[in-house]
């Protein structure tokens, strides 16, 4: 399983890579090595940035020194520009690999994280050379909040010498051969995506002379700083072996293999059980995203046992999150036959939803009745009835409430334009998230897809092919669906909620096509190609609504990955 990019592609700072530790920590950056986000670095854990970079300089057999790293500075200068020597970048079994060529000298770097530990392993192999070459790796350090900045004026980092390197700020340790202490600031490192600058502390440099075929290994970790982790090479091998096991467990092939590995980065083990990171680099946990992504992340990857543990512990605070959680539980029970889970969660979930909604349609104060929330509500009533029936419980009241809500939905939401209102019974003032000036907002948006796509969708059996074709004609792009049709007032192609693309919506669209028997040949081709464009091996959170649909937002999105994996697994087995 590999994705390989050549010299021209390697120069793009818009292509990013990621490896995760299974705890919420990660290493991430761009393929050419430029740190374009505050969150880029080789070791991030517990919401803090630690080891920012290991800047590699090669001393050739001739004695010439060639820097293979790159930094952009506040002055606008990129110096040095080591990415000019990149021959290839590859993602092999989920492990990123860089290969630099300087004439007849070829050096490779690989980066992996030790799963279940806040620990990164970095290897440097001399592939070919006429003799031993010198490898110098400058440890560029920081210690700050993931989204913050560190300045020289804050004072030097506290660095304690230990065997094989240093402990920084008492928080993390960097270990390798030939440690040479440093101790100065590199001022004005610029991260263009954030438009900010910070200063990096050069803690020191590791140096070794490495013969062709040999490897120089560097490790950095937090936690028990006295315990040196396994050699970096063995961590890389273990990461590859684990990737192959994940793909085998999911019985995946083709693009699904890549998506299974992408999904793994978002599933983390918290103190109280499994959890989901909404996106990388630098996003936290969001209960709605977790529930939307649940089926793809857990059921389509062969991780139902972990998923069950997560569902049992879930207690979303928001009503929308609770509705999506009911959907996730319903899909889990339907696909696994887990009647015990149905018996355990049916009553608590019913009580949870009863706190927020009555028997008919759902109103959000100050907004009205959104089509998406009400489609989820109708779906949830039927799903809860099925969960109760699964274990012989009384489902009559829920069936009655579902029938009443579905009838109201079908009567109230169809709009004269031929699709569904985005919001009904809204305020007389313009709708806050759109451009409608009426109480019923007919803006053409994708949220109405849930009225056909959900398993217990309110419009199932009531037609909708013509509406779906209009939705597809106006909203469908190669990377997913626009959040507002270009012809609508207020369309902004670069605004995520006002016309930008959300790739995860390809899931509801594909389901709606299947439910209404609308052809969808080639529907996923653009997103398959996107796996190598923004976040390598993954799917972005958003993209521009205007061609060529430049990816935006976080390059690694849980719900985007999960929904693409789910529909590819379902509709392109």
Residue 125 has pLDDT above 50, yes or no: yes
Residue 457 lies in a domain: no
Which candidate, 22, 270, 40, places its Cα nearest to that of 146?
40
Let me know whether 572 and 474 are in one domain. yes
pLDDT at residue number 274: 95
pLDDT at residue number 435: 47
- Which tokens sit at 319? 């009503």
Domain-terminating residue out of 244, 264, 292: 244
Let me know whether 271 and 406 are in one domain. no
CATH for 207? 2.70.98
Domain-terminating residue out of 445, 479, 496: 445
Residue 103 lies in a domain: yes
Which candidate, 216, 203, 265, 214, places its Cα nearest to that of 239?
265
pLDDT at residue number 436: 46
Cβ–Cβ < 8 Å for 180, 205 = yes
Whole-number Å distance between alpha carbons of 545 and 79: 34
pTM comes to: 0.95
Let me know whether 37 and 126 are in one domain. yes
pLDDT at residue number 19: 98
Percent of the chain topping pLDDT 90: 88
How many separate domains does the chain show?
3
Let me know whether 401 and 476 are in one domain. no
182, 227, 514 from 204: Cα distances, Å: 4, 21, 59
509-518: average pLDDT? 97
Let me know whether 536 and 420 are in one domain. no
Q: What is the pLDDT of residues 185-228, one digit of tens each?
A: 999 999 999 999 999 999 999 999 999 999 999 999 999 999 99
Residue 431 has pLDDT above 50, yes or no: no
Let me know whether 34 and 173 are in one domain. yes
Residue 1 has pLDDT above 70, yes or no: no
Q: What is the pLDDT of residues 136-151, one digit of tens each?
A: 999 999 999 999 999 9
Domain-terminating residue out of 192, 221, 244: 244
Indicate left, alpha or beta for 535 from its phi (over 0: left) and psi (-120 to 50: alpha): beta
Q: What is the pLDDT of residues 478-489, one digit of tens each?
A: 999 999 999 999
Let me know whether 260 and 398 are in one domain. no
Residue 461 pLDDT level (bands cut at 50, 70, 90): confident
Let me know whether 7 and 66 are in one domain. yes
Decide the pairing of beta strands 119-128 and 105-113.
antiparallel
Let me know whether 131 and 278 are in one domain. no
Whole-number Å distance between alpha carbons of 531 and 94: 13
pLDDT at residue number 44: 97
Cβ–Cβ < 8 Å for 171, 141 = no
pLDDT at residue number 104: 96
Whole-number Å distance between alpha carbons of 438 and 148: 43
DSSP element (H, E) containing 167: strand 165-168
Let me know whether 226 and 171 are in one domain. yes
Q: Domain containing 512: what range? A: 252-315+463-573
DSSP 8-state code for residue 295: I
Residue 358 pLDDT level (bands cut at 50, 70, 90): low
Residue 553 lies in a domain: yes
How many residues in total does the chain contain?
A: 573
Let me know whether 272 and 220 are in one domain. no
Residue 473 lies in a domain: yes
144, 147, 233, 292, 433 from 141: Cα distances, Å: 10, 15, 23, 37, 42
Residue 329 lies in a domain: no
pLDDT at residue number 79: 94
Residue 208 pairs in a beta bridge with 135
Residue 68 lies in a domain: yes
Residue 193 lies in a domain: yes
Let me know whether 40 and 162 are in one domain. yes
Q: What is the pLDDT of residues 321-353, one digit of tens each?
A: 999 999 999 999 999 999 999 999 999 999 988
Residue 326 lies in a domain: no
Q: Environment class of residue 8 by beta-carbon count within 10 Å: exposed (0-12), middle (13-18) or buried (19+)?
A: exposed
Q: How far is CA 228 from the centre of its chain?
A: 30
């Amino acid at each position: 399983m590999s994705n390989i990019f050549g010299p021209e592609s390697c120069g793009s700072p818009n292509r990013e890579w990621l490896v995760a530790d299974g705890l919420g920590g990660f290493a991430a950056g761009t393929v050419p090595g430029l740190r374009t986000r505050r969150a880029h670095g080789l070791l991030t854990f517990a919401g803090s940035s630690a080891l920012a970079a290991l800047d590699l300089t090669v001393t050739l057999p001739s004695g010439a020194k060639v820097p293979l790293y790159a930094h952009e500075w506040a002055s606008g200068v990129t110096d040095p520009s080591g990415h000019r020597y990149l021959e290839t970048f590859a993602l092999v079994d989920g492990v990123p690999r860089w290969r630099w060529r300087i004439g007849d000298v070829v050096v490779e770097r690989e980066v992996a994280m030790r799963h279940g530990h806040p620990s990164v392993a970095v290897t440097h192999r001399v592939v070919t050379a006429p003799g031993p070459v010198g490898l110098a790796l400058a440890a560029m350090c920081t210690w700050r909040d993931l989204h913050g900045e560190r300045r020289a004026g804050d004072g030097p980092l506290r660095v304690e010498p230990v065997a094989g390197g240093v402990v920084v700020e008492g928080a993390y340790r960097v270990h390798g051969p030939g440690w040479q202490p440093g101790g100065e600031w590199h001022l004005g490192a610029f991260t263009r995506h954030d438009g900010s600058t910070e200063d990096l502390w050069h803690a020191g440099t590791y140096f070794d002379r490495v013969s062709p075929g040999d490897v120089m290994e560097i490790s950095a970790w937090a936690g028990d700083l006295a315990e040196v982790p396994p050699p970096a090479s063995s961590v890389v091998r273990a990461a590859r072996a684990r990737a192959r096991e994940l793909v085998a467990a999911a019985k995946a092939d083709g693009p699904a293999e890549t998506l299974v590995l992408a999904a793994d980065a978002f599933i983390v083990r918290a103190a109280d059980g499994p959890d989901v990171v909404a996106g990388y680099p630098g996003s936290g946990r969001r209960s709605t995203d977790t529930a939307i992504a649940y089926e793809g992340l857990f059921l389509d990857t062969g991780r139902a046992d972990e998923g069950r543990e997560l569902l049992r512990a879930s207690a979303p605070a928001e009503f929308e999150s609770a509705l999506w959680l009911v959907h996730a539980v319903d899909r889990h029970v339907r696909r696994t036959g887990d009647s015990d889970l149905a018996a355990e969660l049916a009553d608590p979930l019913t009580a949870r939803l009863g706190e927020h909604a009555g028997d008919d349609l759902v109103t959000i104060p100050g907004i009205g009745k959104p089509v998406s929330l009400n489609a989820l509500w109708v779906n949830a009533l039927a799903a809860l009835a099925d969960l109760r029936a699964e274990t012989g419980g009384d489902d009559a009241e829920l069936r009655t409430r579902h029938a009443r809500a579905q009838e109201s939905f079908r009567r109230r939401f169809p709009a004269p334009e031929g699709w569904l209102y985005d919001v009904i019974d809204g305020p007389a003032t313009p709708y806050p998230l759109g451009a409608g000036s009426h109480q019923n907002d007919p803006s053409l948006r994708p949220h109405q897809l849930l009225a056909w796509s959900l398993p217990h969708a309110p419009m199932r059996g009531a037609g909708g092919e013509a509406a779906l074709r209009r939705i597809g004609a106006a909203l469908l792009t190669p990377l997913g669906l626009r959040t507002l049709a270009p012809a609508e007032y207020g369309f902004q192609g670069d605004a995520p909620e006002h016309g930008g693309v959300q790739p995860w919506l390809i899931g509801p669209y594909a389901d709606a096509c299947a439910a209404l028997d609308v052809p969808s040949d080639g529907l996923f081709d653009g997103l398959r190609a996107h796996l190598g464009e923004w976040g390598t091996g993954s799917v972005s959170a958003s993209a521009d609504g205007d061609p060529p649909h430049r990816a935006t937002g976080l390059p690694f999105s849980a719900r985007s990955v999960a929904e693409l994996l789910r529909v590819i697994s379902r509709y392109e087995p």
